[in-house]
Structures are given as structure tokens and as C-alpha cells.
């Protein structure tokens, strides 16, 4: 029986240009429907996703203000030589900040005025008027030096409820308002309740926009297997019958690379990028006040950019399969490819070296991985051709 030619074997797999466009339209519609359904699911889980997304920023802000707290202690200088020191040792400060997750703000007070607010019971350690409902003012922070031992005492405390002439306002020559009469006081609170670590919104509609963006991000991640399946289905439509099996081999690899890129950006890169950017705030002496909407825009761009960049080996294989490049070209032009990778990484990432390197270095490794795959596939095709020729 005469053997049919290769042209006859592949005659049924050829498609016209119009048929390719129709196949692309169908695949895009299916991908869009899958993305829409995934975004609808994302609306039900958007709230915990928002809390998850803000965790890297909260960690970075907490680390920033913890370091600033210790630096504040180390650089504290009394207003006058020999003035009162801070009422804690450095070991106590480091233990409270690093081990117990506390933060503080340094304030200065007049001790005699603070004693007037606390009342006579403050000296004996009993309950003060400030600790009762409707008390006249705030109490000193736990662990502070007692007012009786504080320097700069101006005289006996005024009785609660009685007007004090010195409290009426600053008067010329009044020592109670002199700067050298101030003593330091640390106001403690858990770092998680520190308002400087909170993430703010500046408009009423901003929270709704954040909710929608979180649902969109969730939908993209959930729908990514289906979207990549549709893209590979379109690619398979233009392949020969014996080549379509590669689609089922590389589809899970494509999805895995995308999710690996997203996970690398979210769980590893964000911490380094935020620490680097906040160092400039410390260097310039500026306290950060981040907005969740701006951070969410950053979160949307960087992980998706990493996920798409990680498709490089499969893009290389696709270009090799359709005859645009071959493995020899990839091997000869690897230096130019590395330069292009760094340029593209600089475009896809913010203006910091960490995110650029964390994207460019894995892409360089994936480039050589793609080169190895192209050589392996080409060798496999060569063996198949040799086997058919021997038959």
C-alpha cells in the first residue's frame, strides 16, 4: 500500500487567515467570560484580600517606626547639659520595641503641671482623678518616673478644681514655661495600634475603588489557568496534529510559571522594595503617610508583570516552533537578550534596584532554561524525522 506524503497528512490541519482570526475571537470571548466569573467570585473574598494585600506595607511601616524609636532614644539630647535623661535604659527600649511589639512617641512635659492634673494621689501611687470617668486629664504612661522625683518642681500642686494662676497662660519671666523646666516622657502603645502604621484613604469613594481593584486582582489570579488554556488553544489551532500534544505539556508549565511570578513578587519582593523606598524617607527626614489606593495600584502591576515575565521560556519555544528563531540563534545572541531583559525589567518595575534585580535575574535564568527546552524539542523532532526516514 503506498504511503501518503507529509503534505497529505497535514492537509486537514491548515487554516486560512480568516479562520485564525475567528479562532482568536472565540478564545478571547471564552477567556473574558472566565475572567468575569472569577471577578464575581473575587467580590465575595475581596475584603480578606485587601487585608492580605496591606500586610507587606504594614510590616514595612512597623519596621520603619521601630527603628526610628530606637534611633530616637540613641539621639536624645536634653535641652540643657546635665538635664534629665529618658526614664528608660536602652535595653528596656530595645526589649519593648523588638520583643513586645511596642512603639512610643517622645514628648516633654512640665512635671509640676502634670502633678496638678494627676492630683495628690499620684505621689502615693493610688488612683488619681485622671483614672476615673470624667477625670481632668490623661495619666502618665506606665513606667514613667514619678512626679515627686521629677526635677523642676515649682511648688505644691493645686487642689483639683481650683484655678491656678500659672495655668492661665504664658507670662513673662514665669519659670513654669521655661524650656529648661521640661522633662521627657514616653507615650507607649502597641505597634499595631500606632496611627502612623495605619493605611489611610482620603475620599469617601476611595474605599469602594479599593474593593473593586482587590476583586479584579483576585479574578485575574483565579482565572489565569482558564485564560492560559484559551491562549494555548489558539496556538494549538495553528499547529500540526503531531505538535498539538505539546500544548498539554506546556499548559500546566505556563500556569505554574505565572503563579510562581506572582508569588515571588507578593511574598518576597514587596518587603525588599518597601524597605528600600522607606529608607529614603528616613534619609530625607520625612514620615511616610501611604494611601491604600496607591499601594494597591502598585500591587496590581508588579505581580502581574512578574507573572507575565516568567512566560519567557514558553514564548521562546513558540517563536522557535513557528520558525522565527532557532536554538542556535538564542545561544549566539544571549548577551543581547540579557540587555533586553534588564531594560524590560526596568520598565515593568518601579524605580528601585531591588525589584529590577529580582525580576531580571530569574528571567535570565529562565532564558537559558528556554534555550535548553528549545534544544531538547529540536532534538526530539530530529529523532522522529530520523525514525520516519528509516521506516
What pLDDT does residue 381 have? 67
C-alpha–C-alpha distance, residues 311 and 367, integer Å: 10
pLDDT at residue 339 is higher than 90: yes
Query: Highest mean pLDDT: which of 143-147, 176-180, 209-213, 345-349?
Result: 209-213
Q: Contact 41/218 with Cβ under 8 angstroms?
A: yes
What pLDDT does residue 299 have? 77
What pLDDT does residue 117 have? 78
What pLDDT does residue 44 have? 92
What pLDDT does residue 87 have? 83
pLDDT at residue 64 is higher than 60: yes
What pLDDT does residue 382 have? 63
The CA distances from residue 190 to 53, 55, 87, in Å, are: 21, 16, 19
Task: Compute the mean pLDDT over every residue in the chain, rounded to the nearest whole number.
Answer: 75
The per-residue pLDDT for range 267-288, each reduced to its tens digit, is 888 888 888 878 887 777 777 8
Phi/psi of residue 194, nearest 5 degrees: -70, 120
The per-residue pLDDT for range 3-60, each reduced to its tens digit, is 444 444 444 445 676 777 888 888 889 999 999 999 999 999 988 888 888 888 888 8
Which is it for strands 183-190 and 102-109: parallel, antiparallel or unpaired? antiparallel
What pLDDT does residue 390 have? 65
pLDDT at residue 253 is higher than 80: yes
- 125-129, 155-159, 236-240, range with the lowest pLDDT: 155-159
Residue 25 CB contacts under 8 Å (≥ 6 apart), including other chains: none
DSSP string, 139-199: PPPTTPPPGGG-S---SSPPPTT---GGGG---TT-GGG-GGG-EEEEEEEEGGG-TTTS-
Phi/psi of residue 108, nearest 5 degrees: -125, 135
Query: What number is the average pLDDT over the span 348-371?
Result: 84
Indicate the pLDDT class of residue 124, thresholds 50, 70 and 90: low
Amino acid at each position: 500500500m503506498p504511503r501518503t506524503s507529509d503534505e497529505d497528512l497535514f492537509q486537514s490541519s491548515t487554516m486560512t487567515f480568516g479562520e485564525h482570526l475567528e479562532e482568536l475571537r472565540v478564545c478571547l470571548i471564552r477567556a473574558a467570560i472566565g475572567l468575569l466569573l472569577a471577578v464575581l467570585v473575587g467580590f465575595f473574598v475581596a475584603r480578606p484580600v485587601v487585608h492580605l494585600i496591606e500586610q507587606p506595607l504594614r510590616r514595612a511601616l512597623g519596621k520603619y517606626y521601630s527603628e526610628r524609636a530606637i534611633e530616637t532614644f540613641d539621639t536624645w539630647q536634653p535641652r540643657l547639659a546635665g538635664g534629665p535623661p529618658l526614664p528608660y535604659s536602652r535595653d528596656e527600649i530595645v526589649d519593648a520595641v523588638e520583643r513586645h511589639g511596642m512603639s512610643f512617641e517622645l514628648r516633654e512635659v512640665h512635671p509640676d503641671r502634670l502633678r496638678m492634673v494627676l492630683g495628690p494621689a499620684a505621689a502615693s501611687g493610688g488612683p488619681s482623678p485622671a483614672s476615673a470617668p470624667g477625670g481632668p486629664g490623661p495619666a502618665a504612661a506606665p513606667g514613667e518616673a514619678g512626679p515627686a522625683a521629677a526635677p523642676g518642681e515649682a511648688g505644691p500642686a493645686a487642689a483639683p478644681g481650683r484655678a491656678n494662676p500659672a495655668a492661665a497662660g504664658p507670662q513673662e519671666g514665669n519659670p513654669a514655661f521655661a524650656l529648661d523646666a521640661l522633662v521627657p516622657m514616653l507615650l507607649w502603645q502597641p505597634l499595631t495600634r500606632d496611627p502612623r502604621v495605619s493605611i489611610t484613604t482620603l475620599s469617601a469613594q476611595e474605599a469602594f475603588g479599593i474593593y473593586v481593584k482587590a476583586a479584579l486582582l483576585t479574578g485575574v489570579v483565579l482565572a489565569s489557568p482558564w485564560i492560559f488554556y484559551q491562549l494555548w488553544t489558539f496556538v494549538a489551532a495553528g499547529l500540526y496534529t503531531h505538535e498539538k500534544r505539546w500544548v498539554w505539556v506546556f499548559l500546566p508549565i505556563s500556569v505554574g510559571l505565572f503563579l510562581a511570578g506572582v508569588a515571588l513578587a507578593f511574598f518576597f519582593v514587596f518587603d525588599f522594595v518597601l524597605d528600600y523606598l522607606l529608607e529614603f524617607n528616613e534619609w530625607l527626614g520625612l514620615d511616610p503617610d501611604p494611601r491604600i489606593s496607591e499601594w494597591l495600584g502598585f500591587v496590581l502591576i508588579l505581580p502581574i508583570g512578574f507573572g507575565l515575565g516568567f512566560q519567557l521560556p514558553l514564548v521562546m519555544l513558540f517563536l522557535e516552533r513557528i520558525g522565527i528563531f532557532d536554538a542556535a540563534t538564542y545561544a549566539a545572541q544571549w548577551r543581547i537578550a540579557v540587555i533586553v531583559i534588564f531594560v524590560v525589567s526596568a520598565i515593568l518595575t518601579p524605580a528601585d534596584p531591588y525589584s529590577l534585580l529580582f525580576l531580571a535575574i530569574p528571567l535570565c535564568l529562565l532564558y537559558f532554561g528556554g534555550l535548553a527546552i528549545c534544544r531538547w524539542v529540536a532534538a526530539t523532532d530530529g529523532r522522529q524525522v530520523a525514525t520516519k526516514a528509516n521506516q
